[in-house]
Structure 1
C-alpha cells in the first residue's frame, strides 16, 4: 500500500498512540539526526582532506615531495618568505611547471609556461576564483563587484562597464590626473624650500597614496577626499584604511575560516572593525549612487530618456549609472544597486593603492645610483613637451616614458600573483614539455575540477626564458628594441604590452588604461621638475604582500 494511502487511513488517535509508544524521546531523535549529519560531513571532510589528494592527477607533476604541516601543507614556508620567492626557488629546481601542497594538503598547480597561462586566462570562465577567494572578496567588497562576479554575471557587468574605461573616457579624465599630479609636485617642492636645504627626505609612498586616492575620488565618483591637503581625515578614507589595515603576521584564522564556515561567526576584533568599516562605506556609497542617479534623471528629463550612445560624463560612476539606465539596455542586463555599490568598492581599492605602490617602486629604482642616467634621460624627454598640461596623445607620443612605464610594470608588478581553480576536468597545454616524477615527458597538464592554480604573475614577467639573462634588471631600453631582444614575450597572454601585470582574457584588468595615463601624468609632473636619490644611509626595502 502506498504511504499516502496509509496516512489517509490513519486516525488522529492511532497516530497519537504510535507517538506515545515510540521508544525514543524527541531530544534523542534530534541528537541522533544531528550526530548522523555531523558524522557524514566529517567523513566527507576527511575524504577530501586525506584521501582525494592521493588520486589527484597533479600528484605526479614535479615539485617538493615534503610539506610542513598536515593542515597547512607548504603554506607556512610560503608565508614566511617574500612574495613568490619560494615558488621561484622551486621552479629553479624543478622547472616551469610544479605542484605543491596547499591548505589541508590539496595539490596546487603553479606554472609560468606561456601557453598554459594563455589557456587559463583566455578560458577564464572555466578557471574561476576559488570559493575561498570569493568569500574574501565578498567580505571586502560585497557580492556586487566585478572582482567577485563569475560567469554570466561577470560578462554582463563588463558589458555595462566597458564604456567607463574606453580611450574617450580616459581622455576626459586627464585634467583630474594632471591637477592632482601638480598639486603633489607643489607640496614636495614647498617641503624642500621650507627645509632651507637643497634636498629633503620624503616618504613618497604616503604622498603617492594620498594623490591617487584623491584621483580615484574625483575620477571615480566625483567625491573630494582632500587627503593631499587634509590628510586621512575623511570618514570614507578612515573606514577604507581600517578595512584594509595590514594583518600582523600570517592570517591563519582568516584562512581557516575560508574552509570552516562556523569560524566566520567568531566576534574577533578584526571582524568588528571590518563590520564597522563596511557599514560606513555602504552608507556613503549608497548616498553617492542615489545622488548620481537623481542627477542623471534630472539632466535627461524631457529628452526621452538615456541611451547608450549618449552616455557621457566625467566621473566613472556617472558613466556607469547612465549606461545602466540606458533604455536600449535590456532589463536582464542591468546591474542591481548592490552590483553598482560593489563597483565603488572595487574602484576604491583597485584604483589607487596599486598605482601608488607601482610608482613608489619606480621612484625607488630611478633613485638607484646605477639608474641615474635613466632618470636623467627620462627628464630630458619630458622637457621636450612644450605644454605644461599635455594631452593623452602627447604623453603617449613619448617613447622613453612609455618604455619606462612598461619596464616598471614588468619588473615591479604590484599584483604578484593570483589564484584560480579548475571549473572542470581539463588538459592544459604547455609550450615547453616537462618531465613528471615518473620520468615521463608531458606536453599538457591534467587537472581535476576544483583543484587550485597559483598564477605567478611576477615570475612570468621576470622569466629568463622569455626576457633573457637580464630579466631581473631594470632596463627600459628593452622596449625600444621591439621584440627583437625578447621575441618569446609575444607568447605572454597579457592585455597590455606582453606582460601579465594586468592579466589577460575576459578577466583582464578593466581599468588598465586608467592606470597607465594616471601613472604617466604623475611621472610627467614629478620627474620633469625634480630629481630623486636615496638618502644616506639608504633604507633597506623588502617586498611584502598581504
Structure 2
C-alpha cells in the first residue's frame, strides 16, 4: 500500500503542474489587468518572460536599460506570460516598506527557498510569526550591544592582519582580498554572532568558509527552478523533496545541498552546546555562555527569560543562526571587497582616508564611538553602500493600489498617478536604482564620490521621503522587513577599514574584474568563471 502511494506522488505532482501551467497560460492570454497599461520591455520568451534577464549573473545592463528607458515604474514578464512590476518610485516604496506594510509579503519562492535552505528563520517567515521573531532579535542588534562587540571585532581583524603581514614578508604580493574579507566576515559573525570560531585565520582557508562562499554563485544558477518550489512543496513532504534533490544529476544542485547540510549541522551543534551549558553544563562553561557577548548567547538568555507566548522554539533559534551566517558573511565581505577595489582605483581617496584613520588611532584601536566620529570613513562607507548595495533588489507580492510620486504615461496615452496591482503580482523593488536615481541624487549619481556625504544632500532627495533605515538609502530596505543587522555590518566595515588602511596599501592588478548580479552581488575574474574572487596588489606600509 505504501509503495502504491509513493508511486502516485510523481503522477499527482505532474498533473498538478500541467493544470497550473494551463491556468497560467489562459489567464495571461485572455484576462486583461491594469498592468497591461504600464510600459515595459517585451518578454524574451513566453515560458520564461524576462526572468533570465532579471536574475542572470550579467543582468546589470538589463537593469540599467529598465531605469533609462522606462523610469521608476515598468512592467516585466514572469513565467508563462504572468505580469510583474518593476519599481523604484519613492512613494511606492514607502507604501510597500512602511505605510501599507501589512499588505505586502516576501514572494513565495523566496520564502520557500529560504525555508528549505536555512529553516524557519527571520527571512523565511511572514506576518505575526515574523514580527514575533523580530521582537526577540531587535535588542541584540542595538547600538549598545554593538559597543560590547567592538573589542571582539578588533581582536579578529588584528589576527587577520597579522597573517596577511606574514604573507607579505618578501614584499608586495597579489592577494585575493575577497577570500580574506569572507574569512574575516565569517569569523566576525561566528564569534560576534554565535560565540563560535569558524576560522583560525591562518594562511590556509578552512572548509566551512570555502563552502559558504560558493552558496550565492551556485544558487543563482537555480533561480528559475526555485520559482516552482512553492507549488511542489504544497503537494510533497520534506523527506520526499530531499530524496528528489539527492537524485538530481546537476553539480550545482548537489553542491548547494552539501553547503546547506554543512551549515545546518554547524548551527545545530553550536546551539545544542550553548543550550546545554546554560541549562545544565559545568559552572565554568555555564558562566562563559552566560557572560557571552555574542548575539546568540544574548538571544538564548532572553528567550529563556521570555514569557511562554513570546518564546521561540529551538528549531527557529537554529534557523536564526544559519540565517545570520549566510546574511552576515556574504553581504559585508562583498561590500568590503568592493570598497577596497574603489580605494585601489582612487589612490588619492585611499591616502586621505588612511591619514584620517592614523591620526584618530593615535597608536591604538578605536572604540565604537570614536569610529562613528570619523567623517571621511563614514562618507567612504556610505558612498560604497549607496552605489553598490550588496543586495541590488528584493521581490514582494501584493494586492492593492500603489501610489506614485510622479504620474506616468500609460500605454493608452493617459497619465496614471497610481497603479492597481492585482493579487499575487510579484513586484521587483530595485534598491540599487533608487540609490542611483539621478532625479534625486543629481547628474553624478552613477559616480563614486565620497565627498557628496560631506555636504548637505540634494533637496530633491530630502523631499522624496525614501523609506530606507540608513541615510536616504534603500541598501538595507526599510520598515519591518529592513535588514536587522545593518549596525553590525557597519561596525564590521569600519573596524576592517581602520585596521587594514593603517597597515597596507592596495593597488589594482590589471585583471578584468566583473561584478555579477545575484541575490548578493559577487566578483569574478572575467565573465565566464564562477569562482568568487578579487585580486589586488597588497603592500605592507612602513610607518
Q: TM-score, normalised by structure 2?
A: 0.84
CA contact (8 A) 2:476 2:482 kept: yes
What's 1:343 paired with?
320
Point out the structure with the larger strand share.
2
Matched-pair contact (CA < 8 Å) for 2:183–2:209: no
Q: Does residue 294 in structure 1 map to residue 294 in structure 2?
A: no
Count, aligned residues: 494
8 A contact 1:84–1:459 mirrored in 2: no
| d(CA) in 2 for partners of 1:58, 1:544 | 26
After TM superposition, give the deviation of residue 126 of structure 1 in Å.
1.7
Larger radius of gyration: 1
Secondary structure (helix, strand or coil) at the match of 1:70 reads coil
Quote the residue 2:368 is aligned against: 392
Residue in 2 that maps onto 1:216: 189
Q: Report whether the alignment pairs 1:137 with 2:114.
A: yes
In the other structure, the counterpart of 2:428 is 454
Backbone CA RMSD of aligned residues: 2.9
**Is the alpha carbon distance of 1:112 and 1:242 closer, same or farther for their aligned partners in structure 2, counting shifts above 3 Å?**
closer
Given the superposition, is the C-alpha separation of residues 446 and 545 from structure 1 closer, same or farther in structure 2, using an over 3 Å criterion? same
The answer for the alignment partner of 1:514 in structure 2 is: 488
Gaps of 5+ in 1: 1-33, 302-310
Are residues 272 and 544 of structure 1, via their aligned partners in 2, closer, same or farther at CA, if it must alter by over 3 Å? closer
| Contact 1:110/1:454 (<8 A) preserved | yes
Using the TM superposition, name which of 271-280 and 85-94 deviates more: 271-280
**2:301: which partner in 1?**
322
For structure 2, the residue ranges without an aligned partner over 5 or more in a row are: 1-9, 284-289, 520-543
Asked whether the 8 Å contact 2:25–2:81 carries over to 1, the reply is yes
Q: Give the ranges of 4+ consecutive aligned residues of structure 1 lying more than 6 Å apart after TM superposition.
A: 34-41
Matched, 1:376 2:351: yes
CA distance in 2, matches of 1:46, 1:409: 43
* CA shift for structure 1 position 532: 1.5
Counterpart in the other structure of 1:471: 445
Contact map agreement 1:467 1:485 (CA 8 A) in 2: no
- Tell whether the 8 Å contact from 2:328 to 2:489 is kept in structure 1 after alignment: yes
Structure-1 residue corresponding to 2:403: 429
How far did residue 258 of structure 1 move?
A: 5.2
Answer yes or no: is 1:500 the counterpart of 2:474. Answer: yes
State the Cα deviation string for residues 390-437 of structure 1 (Å, max 9, x = none): 000000011111111111110111101111110xx3111111111111
Contact 2:156 2:187 in 1 (8 A): yes
1:246 counterpart residue number: 218
Distance 2:211 2:334 in 1: 20
> CA contact under 8 A between 1:489 and 1:498: conserved in structure 2?
no
Q: Normalization by structure 1: what TM-score?
A: 0.83
The match for 1:109 is 85
Are the counterparts in 2 of residues 164 and 319 from structure 1 also a CA contact under 8 Å?
yes
Residue-by-residue CA offset, 1:248-290 (whole Å, 9 max, x unaligned) = 8565444445555579535214555444444443333223222
In 1, the alpha carbon distance for the partners of 2:13 and 2:384 equals 54
Report how far residue 49 of structure 1 moved: 3.0
Secondary structure of the structure 1 residue equivalent to 2:129: helix
Task: Give the match's secondary structure for 1:284.
Answer: helix
Aligned to 1:62: 39
Q: Which residue is equivalent to 2:266?
A: 284
2:518 paired with 1:545: yes
SS in 1 for 2:424: coil
Name the CA distance, whole Å, in 1 between partners of 2:131 and 2:366. 35
Conserved 8 A contact 2:461-2:472: no
SS class of match (1:433): strand
Instruction: Answer whether contact 1:83 1:416 (CA < 8 A) is retained.
Output: no
